[in-house]
Amino acid sequence: MARPTLRIGVTSGLIERVGDRLRETAAAAEIVELQRDGGWSAAPEGLDAFFFSEDLYVETASAAAVMQLLQTSPPAWMQTASTGVDHQIFQHLIDSGAVVTNSPGVHGGPIAEYVFAYILQHAKRVSQHAKHQAERRWAPLDSVELAGQTLGIVGFGGIGEACARIAKSFGMRTLATKRRPPDSEFLDSHLQPAQLRDLLSASDYVVLCCPLTDETLNLIDADALAVMPPHALLINVARGRVIDHDALGDALRSGAIAAAVLDVVPTEPLAAESPLWDLPNCIITPHDSCHVDASYLRTAEFFFTNLAHLIAGEPLEWVVTDIELSDASLGDV
């Protein structure tokens, strides 16, 4: 008996970028396209594979179509575009009964560049210069030299190490919390998670790269913020609920810390009535720190590798279905 044709679901975004590669890799497969309006090119029930690509994080109609499919006829296997699987959406993937595979290590570079874009903006007072230009004011400002400054990294996985690598190129001192001592040439000092307060008090810049777990829920609370230097900048590229946002708002309004940059918030999108929008020392971005085309193509490579395994009847790589969500996340705590 002939083997049934594989049915593979992908988004219009993937087809536009690497459709030729897909057709080459799976020449005998039926490709079922998920369109931006949430429609499917063919019935999506009974898919052997589906690539949960990055475009689904911003295209709400097509993402809703996937969520509906998970409730009725989940694909047998889903490849995700993320390293972390601690975002709330992944619980739906896991609960669907599908085999879920992730894409470890693909976003470290772009997210670290995002982190340093805002570190440099803060240190070199870019926003204040722009304000002065708009006012036609010639007003020289003092700024900060990054060499000799300390970057504290909470959670030292791929993203944390990428941040440390850039920090060392500026001559910065690097500290990081992680349960297991990392082997990294870019890290000056390793601390246990229980030493978080030591890291916070010693850091001029703090970047959160840890997963969301029971231990990291509201990790940065009022007590943690209180030990940070008043000139410190806090950047969150982890998960929104790692920070107690009520306490953060209080700290920003009182000047307990200088500023915060949030690429993630507890509930996304951030509600229009949130007081954080109005704080001049709080920068909010829509969870897009890793949205670069090169990153999309790197995640697609993970999908194509596993798709070739599927076609050949071989075991899939990077399976996360049967492990704790906190173990397959942004990085260690």
User: How many Cα neighbours within 13 Å face the side chain of 310?
Assistant: 25
Residue of 122, 173, 239, 245 marked catalytic: 239
Residue of 122, 173, 245, 287 marked catalytic: 287
Peptide bond into 269 cis (omega under 30): yes
Three-class DSSP category at 122: helix
Question: In whole angstroms, what separates CA 196 from the centre of its chain?
Answer: 21
Ramachandran region, residue 171 (left: φ > 0; alpha: ψ -120 to 50; beta: rest): left
Ramachandran region, residue 312 (left: φ > 0; alpha: ψ -120 to 50; beta: rest): alpha
The question of whether 23 is a catalytic residue gets the answer no
The question of whether 241 is a catalytic residue gets the answer no
Three-class DSSP category at 261: strand
Closest by CA position to 82, among listed 299, 316, 303, 304:
299
Residue of 268, 301, 314, 324 marked catalytic: 268
DSSP 266: S
Q: Which amino acid is at 299?
A: T
Alpha-carbon gap, residue 80 to 332, rounded angstroms: 20
The question of whether 268 is a catalytic residue gets the answer yes
DSSP 255: T
Q: Which residues are catalytic?
A: 239, 268, 287
